[in-house]
Amino acid sequence: MSTEDISPRYLDFDLWDNNEALKALYEGQLAAVAAVGPALTAIAAAVDDAVPRLRKGGRLVYAGAGTSGRIGVQDGAELSPTFNWPRDKVVFVIAGGEAALLRAIEGAEDSRETAAEKMNEIGAGANDVVIGVAASGRTPFTVSAIETARGCGALTIGIANNPDSELLRASEHPVLVDTGAEIIAGSTRLKAGTAQKIALNLFSTLVMVRLGKVYRGLMVHMLPTNEKLRRRSVQIVRSVTGCSEEIAAESVVKANGDVKTAALVACGMDTDAAQAALVKHDGNLRLAMTELAPPRSR
């Protein structure tokens, strides 16, 4: 496996001075970004297949072990505050359970049986999208989770850093981010982990965009749960509609914090009509805006 290779260039890395060492680590991160480029077509195809299932009520399921599992959790956990994605529509199947997020659980990643049991426990089904992440591409827990999910009819996406690996072969949508040897051999929290984070971020963000949770580059589906986000929601309504801050704030209150509804209310709709327009257009604010009455000619 290339992620386990020992690079002759870094045999004396521990003797390098700080500036040289940091420059090498920095260059490794740049290489991780570059490694995602060839995977964009595969990620786009995965988005195309994932969106229709999620529209039907499917869940995003992240499966992994160790560093890869934690990166998956980070991506999934941020979907609710950013896009108001329902918390019960994100599931984590992690080797060693929640305890493994804070400390290594030795041997947990080797159990294929535990992964299959967990996937069956969550009731993986045809509308679910299951993403398995493993740098090596051969982690038994992650491969088994994907195999079980696919057997249940779920859409499966595998993200790995080694070509022709078991996880990629098992997945309906294989996403290879070939980062090669690490500066510290086998330490996939470096380049491999960065590339995984980018790939997941690209996938989940574009999925949310296609689900209508972004309009004009704004987080119009966010949930304003604190004062900073409440201020942001008012500013989003102002930006979308061009209304005054006073009208935007009033509209956010009338819409109970729902930014999309507030934007339509600020444009003259009543709350019920705004909500009906959003339902009609599957929550897409751009399309719901077409329901606005044209301005009267003078």
Average pLDDT score over residue span 257-270: 95
Average pLDDT score over residue span 190-218: 96
Average pLDDT score over residue span 265-291: 94
Q: Are 81 and 237 in contact (CB under 8 A)?
A: no
Q: Residue 294: is its pLDDT beyond 70?
A: no
**Residue 128: which of 151, 112, 111, 144 has the closest Cα?**
151
- DSSP E strands, 65-105: 90-94
Average pLDDT score over residue span 54-69: 96
Average pLDDT score over residue span 171-184: 96
CATH assignment of 2-210, among 1.10.10.10, 3.30.470.20, 3.40.50.10490, 3.10.580.10:
3.40.50.10490
**Residue 135: which of 117, 113, 160, 158 has the closest Cα?**
160
Share of the chain above pLDDT 70, in %: 98
Lowest mean pLDDT among 18-27, 58-67, 100-109, 130-139: 100-109
pLDDT of residue 235: 96
Angle at 131 between CA 130 and CA 137, to 5 degrees: 130
Q: Residue 26: is its pLDDT beyond 90?
A: yes
Check residue 7 and give left, alpha or beta (phi > 0: left; psi -120 to 50: alpha): beta
The number of helices, as runs of H, and strands, as runs of E, in the chain is 13, 5
Q: What is the CATH number of domain 227-291?
A: 1.10.8.1080
Q: Are 66 and 141 in contact (CB under 8 A)?
A: no
Catalytic residue positions, numbered = 78, 109
* Domain definitions of the chain by residue range: 2-210, 227-291
pLDDT of residue 295: 54
The three-class DSSP label of residue 35 is: helix
pLDDT of residue 298: 43
Q: What's the predicted TM-score (pTM) here?
A: 0.91
Check residue 11 and give left, alpha or beta (phi > 0: left; psi -120 to 50: alpha): alpha
Q: Residue 146: is its pLDDT beyond 50?
A: yes
Average pLDDT score over residue span 151-156: 97
Q: Residue 1: is its pLDDT beyond 80?
A: no
Angle at 175 between CA 147 and CA 209, to 5 degrees: 105
pLDDT confidence band for 110 (50 / 70 / 90): confident
* Mean residue pLDDT across the chain: 93
Higher pLDDT, 99 or 205: 205
Average pLDDT score over residue span 78-89: 93
**Residue 115: which of 95, 129, 130 has the closest Cα?**
95
Q: Residue 285: is its pLDDT beyond 80?
A: yes
Q: Residue 252: is its pLDDT beyond 80?
A: yes
Average pLDDT score over residue span 13-27: 96
Per 3-state DSSP, what percentage of the chain is helix, strand, and coil (rounded to 5)? Answer: 55, 10, 35
Q: Residue 297: is its pLDDT beyond 60?
A: no
pLDDT confidence band for 4 (50 / 70 / 90): confident
Q: Are 56 and 87 in contact (CB under 8 A)?
A: no
pLDDT of residue 46: 98
- DSSP E strands, the chain: 60-64, 90-94, 129-134, 155-160, 173-176
Q: Residue 37: is its pLDDT beyond 70?
A: yes
In the chain, the amino acid numbered 228 is K
Phi, psi of 252 (to 5 degrees): -65, -40
Phi, psi of 272 (to 5 degrees): -65, -45
Average pLDDT score over residue span 14-20: 96
Which residues, at least 6 apart from 229, have a Cβ–Cβ distance to it below 8 Å? 222, 223
